[in-house]
């Protein structure tokens, strides 16, 4: 690992463009983009935490990107901004062609509801709702619940391997099954990309493998996946790994380059 004391503002971009295998993919459209994003938390009078300190990066359609870093590296902050839960202090986060920093709360909620499919470490299903109802939650806020949403839920439940468990309560399912529900839920609104936060952190290694296999499957279908993790085993399954350190991009690694059989992105 190369310690980088000061990285120029556009370091992420620079890394991405300098790497030939990454630039090879630039024909695919950019769906999410950080332009010199800073996120500062004012804790006290003279205590400002610079959680993100000038990050630039891009997510292209069809990417399978892992964001790695130790705790305190700015991973969570980056996840929150990527997911539209938080806004940059300065800089731009563009998703679906819109600058998220300039949106009001309702519009930001719409971004979360339409463009992003969240997958959480602790699944975050709503316990009092059945699997079907959980799947319908994102569409409900778009006012799109109906017979079609039911059919779609059934389709996605089959797709993630849940089968006929639509009427079960989350508590009646295993951890792996709950995470499958969460993945199906994330796909319900046809988001621009899936955003997974330590998606396998609460699972045993077998189940972890199953879920990562499912991600691979989805990716083959053209789903864009951004996964935030500190687990190298998870990160190396992704095509690209973005390393964060001290709120800045340390490096962008193309995992396919390391693997001899790796091919280019479709």
Partner 1 sequence: MIGDTMRIVRLGLKSLLLHKLRSSLTTAGILFGVASVIAMLAVGEGASKETLQQYRDMGVTNVLVRSKKPEETQQSTNASSMWNVLGYGLLYQEADRVQNLLPQGIVVRSREFQRGVVHGEHWASTMIVGTEPPFLEVTNMKVREGRWITELDMQRQTNCVVLGESLARQLFPLEDPIGQTVLIGVEDRFEIVGVLEYQGRAASPNGTTLDECAFIPLTSSRRRFGDTIRNPSTNRWENIELHEIKVKMPGPEWVESAAGVVDLMLKPAHGAKKDTEITVPLELLRKEERAERMFSLVLAVIASISLLVGGIGIMNVMLATVTERTREIGIRRALGAKKKHIVQQFLVEAGVMSTLGGLVGVGLGLLVPLGIEKYFEQPTEVKTQHVLMAFGISALVGVVFGLYPAWRAANMDPVEALRHE
Positions in the binding site for partner 1 (CB under 8 A): 80, 83, 85-86, 105-106, 109-110, 112-114, 118, 120, 124-126, 128-129, 137-138, 140-143, 145-146, 185, 189
| CB of 126 vs partner 1, minimal distance in Å | 6
Closer residue to partner 1 (CB): 126 or 259: 126
C-beta of 33 vs 115, nearer to partner 1: 115
Give the residue with the Cβ less far from partner 1, 112 or 256. 112
d(CA 251, CA 22): 12
The three-state secondary structure class of 118 is strand
Taking the C-alpha atoms of residue 130 and residue 106, their distance in angstroms, rounded to an integer, is: 27
Contact (CB, 8 A) for 160 and 184? yes
Distance CA 216, CA 150 (A): 25
The distance of closest approach from Cβ of residue 218 to partner 1 in the complex, given in angstroms and rounded to an integer, is 18
Q: Are 65 and 28 in contact (CB under 8 A)?
A: no
Question: To the nearest whole angstrom, how small is the minimum distance from the Cβ of residue 58 to partner 1?
Answer: 23
Q: What distance in Å separates the CA atoms of residue 226 and residue 238, rounded to the nearest whole number?
A: 9
Place of tokens 């459209």: 29
Residue 120 or 255: the one with the smaller Cβ distance to partner 1 is 120
Neighbours of 77 (CB within 10 A): 22
Q: How far is the CB of 146 from partner 1 (least distance, A)?
A: 7
127 or 263: whose CB is closer to partner 1?
A: 127
Q: How far is the CB of 210 from partner 1 (least distance, A)?
A: 23
Strand 30-42: give its sheet, edge to edge.
Answer: 48-60, 30-42, 90-95, 98-99
């Amino acid at each position: 690992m190369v310690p980088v004391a000061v990285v120029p503002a556009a370091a992420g971009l620079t890394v991405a463009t300098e790497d030939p295998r990454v630039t090879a993919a630039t024909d695919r459209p950019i769906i999410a983009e950080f332009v010199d994003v800073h996120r500062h938390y004012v804790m006290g009078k003279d205590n400002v935490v610079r959680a993100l300190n000038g990050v630039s990066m891009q997510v292209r359609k069809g990417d399978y990107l892992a964001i790695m870093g130790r705790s305190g590296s700015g991973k969570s902050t980056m996840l929150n901004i990527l997911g539209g839960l938080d806004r940059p202090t300065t800089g731009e986060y563009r998703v679906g062609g819109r600058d998220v920093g300039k949106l009001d709360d309702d519009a930001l909620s719409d971004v979360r509801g339409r463009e992003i499919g969240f997958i959480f470490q602790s699944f975050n299903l709503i316990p009092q709702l059945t699997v079907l109802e959980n799947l319908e939650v994102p569409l409900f806020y778009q006012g799109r619940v109906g017979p079609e949403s039911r059919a779609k839920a059934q389709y996605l439940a089959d797709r993630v391997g849940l089968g006929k468990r639509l009427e079960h309560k989350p508590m009646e399912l295993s951890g792996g099954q709950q995470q499958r529900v969460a993945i199906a839920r994330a796909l319900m609104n046809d988001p621009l990309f899936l955003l997974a936060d330590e998606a396998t952190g609460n699972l045993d290694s077998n189940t972890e493998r199953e879920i990562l296999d499912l991600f691979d499957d989805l990716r083959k279908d053209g789903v864009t996946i951004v996964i935030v993790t500190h687990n190298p085993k998870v990160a190396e399954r992704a095509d690209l790994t973005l390393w964060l350190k001290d709120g800045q991009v340390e490096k962008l690694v193309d995992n396919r380059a390391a693997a001899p059989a790796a091919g280019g992105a479709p």
